[in-house]
Structure 1
Amino acid sequence: MKSFAVCLLPVLFAGALCGQPVLKFDTQNADLGEIAAKGGTVVRTFAFVNTGDAPLVLSKADVSCSCTKVRLPRKPTAPGGKDVVTVIYDPRRQEGTFHKAIRISANTEAKKHVVTIRGTVEP
């Protein structure tokens, strides 16, 4: 029984011994307000910090339409490091109110993180 407990302890504490990145956004929502349909693209950045103790990798961003593009950092973000996710919204052919969710895949405990943009496209 004693040997079982000794063998089980490393398994239980393996997560604590291995570093884990933590993604913390300054804000996860951006209100773009009223924008003109012919006014060109609108760019918003979402600043974040890796509050964990291992490098943070943002690997993929999923969007619901081709009107929204995302630029993720190309390199891992070191523990304590800061970077940004850039969201580019194209209002052409998108009249009316919009709410777009961007799902970001990361090597964190919660595998998906969401940032949103919203606003109204005026003709």
Structure 2
Amino acid sequence: MAQFETKNGVRTTPAAPTSAKVPDVKPDGPLPTFKFSEESFDFGTITEGDVVDHVFSFVNEGDAPLIISSATASCGCTVPVWPKAPIAPGEQAEIKVQFNSRSKPGVQNKTVTVTANTYPKVTRLKIKANVNKANPS
């Protein structure tokens, strides 16, 4: 039976202990494997307001279909587009990352976190740009 505590006239039950995070365990059996041609890209110097994109190409070098469940960016200025269909072993595919530099002067480092049925589950793609402030018109 739960123990009750009374504090300032209010009867409460103590919080349940939190469980520890379960480590990412490598599953048994055939697995898909990302093999990116590159995991980071530098756009170099661009002008504030420019919208640029880069395509990260990869091959599934594993033994099972690769399924990307999500690709999330570290900022709303960065938008990833990824294949929704499974990528068969040996098949090549792409993740397109678009960066909008509006109101983003200075050096910008952004990350796209890709979650898939791979081991490890998460792969991080990085983009960088040096954004020059736009000249007022």
TM category, shorter: 0.7 to 0.9
Give me the CA root mean square deviation. 1.2
Q: 1:110 aligns with which of 100, 120, 129?
A: 120
* Higher relative contact order, chain-length normalized (CA < 8 Å, sep 6+): 1
Aligned counterparts of 1:38 and 1:58: Cα–Cα separation in 2: 30
Distance in 2 between the 1:94 and 1:38 partners?
Answer: 8
1:17-56 C-alpha deviation (Å, 9 max, x unpaired): x3210111010010000011133x1010000000001000
Q: Distance in 1 between matches of 2:35 and 2:124?
A: 11
Distance 1:38 1:51 in 2: 38
**Aligned residue in 1 for 2:66:** 56
> 2:39, 2:126 within 8 Å by CA — same for their partners in 1?
yes
Q: 1:32 and 2:43 equivalent? A: yes
Unaligned runs of 5+ in 2: 1-26
Amino acid at match of 1:100: K
Structure 1 unpaired stretches of 5+: 1-13
* Alpha-carbon distance between aligned partners in 1 of 2:32 and 2:75, rounded to the nearest angstrom: 29
Q: CA deviation at 1:86?
A: 0.4
CA distance in 2, matches of 1:38, 1:85: 23
Identical residues among aligned pairs (%)? 35
- Normalized per residue, the structure richer in helix is 1
In structure 1, what is the equivalent of residue 33 of structure 2? 22
- Runs of 4 or more consecutive aligned structure 1 residues displaced over 6 Å after TM superposition: none
- Structure of larger gyration radius: 2
1:50-94 deviation digits (Å, cap 9, x = unpaired): 000100011101211110000011211000000000000000000
TM-score (norm 2): 0.75
Which one of the candidate residues 54, 76, 99 is aligned to 1:89? 99
